[in-house]
Amino acid sequence: MATEKIVLAYSGGLDTSVLIKYLQEKYDVDVITVTVDVGQQEDIKAAEEKTKKLGVYKHFSIDAKDEFAENYIFPAIKANALYEGKYPISTSLSRPLIAKKMVQIAQKEDATGLAHGCTGRGNDQVRFDITLGSLAQDKKILAPVREWGMTREEEIAYAKAKGIHVSEAAKKYSIDASVWGRAIECGLLEDANNEPPEDAYEWTVAPEKAPDKPEIVTLKFEAGVPVAINGKTMKPLELIMEMNKIAGKHGVGRIDHIEDRLVGIKSREVYECPAATAILEAHKDLEKMVMTRHEVLFKQKIDAEWVFLAYAGLWVDPLKDDLDAFINKSQENVTGEVKLKLYKGGLQVIGRSSPMSLYDKNLANYNIKTSFNQSYSKGFIELWGLQTRMYNALKQADKKGKAKKP
């Protein structure tokens, strides 16, 4: 009988490197590894060479950076995707794309199963299991890290015993990255009261070491997505990479917060998301200029639901498609330019303009005559506050004993 084949999402890191040997030895299967390049700025070729040393059946390296930028990051920009108001879901966004590529390889190679290196404590297990289970319902899903119960120290020891190289960085931190952001966990960071050591960061300089002169950057948007920086039109991936460099140089994009994982655990999370931080701030500001108050307030609710679905592993749920339809419609007028000032870790919107702007300085200006008839305000206020005044009149009368509660 032919040996069973399992497709493994391979990052080149500690967990998935250990997994190769674990799958070969415990399950007696041929392991097919898939490394998907989503802009993590790691040596994809080195990961491929590592798999050869570990005796995999086949390895696939897939460049999906452009697809990731256009089909995953850009929808997230339109949705102002910040989980719990802080995290630009950089890791979350890449998981459904990686899962999709795994399924394609599994179908091509006639594999019977799909494997990932997620623990039972995190969110990624949910994202992979649901997406893989939805796209490849005839394949079994293996998550050995949930089974083996090894600590990180035990994994390192296992790797050494099997001759698997472990980098110095892997000994200190668990790192996951895409072009939209870099997540750093483990080690000293697990103490929520410890300031992250400077060696945890790679994409951003310490704010105190950033340039002493602020930099003004103009982002141009068309239909809700960024298309140019300082007048230079760029493709999606190129623009994001350039914004990572600019914002990172000024120490913008460091995020340190307590996050509620889907499984119920509160975790201390540290991220570097320079481009995401800058672009999302500019996008939100432009929306307020071109949308009505009703659109802005309602879309905030839609955005919150969208980002939760993406974070919680429900990228392929039909509700996300429904929300996408609303969000895409809402972005038709989100066209214009936003000026950002970056300085020593700080980010500030200092100007914005749009051909679709609902802001009219002639209406807002106190010093010139306008078409705004101020006398209308008296009647508006009378009606706007009618029920509030009625309630307070009854409340005051009750205190004086002149009114009785029913």
Q: Which residues are catalytic?
A: 15, 95, 124, 174
> 226: which residues sit within 8 A by CB, 6+ positions away?
77, 219, 220, 236, 239, 243, 279, 282, 283
Give the whole-angstrom CA distance, residue 359 versus residue 373.
Answer: 17
Give the whole-angstrom CA distance, residue 252 versus residue 345.
Answer: 4
At 288, the amino acid letter reads K
386-406 b/e (C-beta count within 10 Å ≥ 16 → b): eeeeeeeeeeeeeeeeeeeee
Phi, psi of 240 (to 5 degrees): -65, -45
CA angle 385, 390, 396 (to 5 degrees): 125
- In this structure, the number of other CB atoms found within 10 A of the CB of residue 303 comes to 21
Please write down the long-range contacts of 387-390, taking CB distance under 8 Å and 24 or more positions apart. none
**Hey, which residues does 348 pair with through a beta bridge?**
341
* Cα torsion angle, 104, 110, 113, 118, sign: negative
Phi, psi of 212 (to 5 degrees): -80, -10
> 20: which residues sit within 8 A by CB, 6+ positions away?
8, 10, 31, 33, 51, 54, 55, 56
Six token digits for residue 394: 């009854």
Residues 276 and 92: beta-carbon distance below 8 Å: no
Give the whole-angstrom CA distance, residue 179 versus residue 175.
Answer: 13
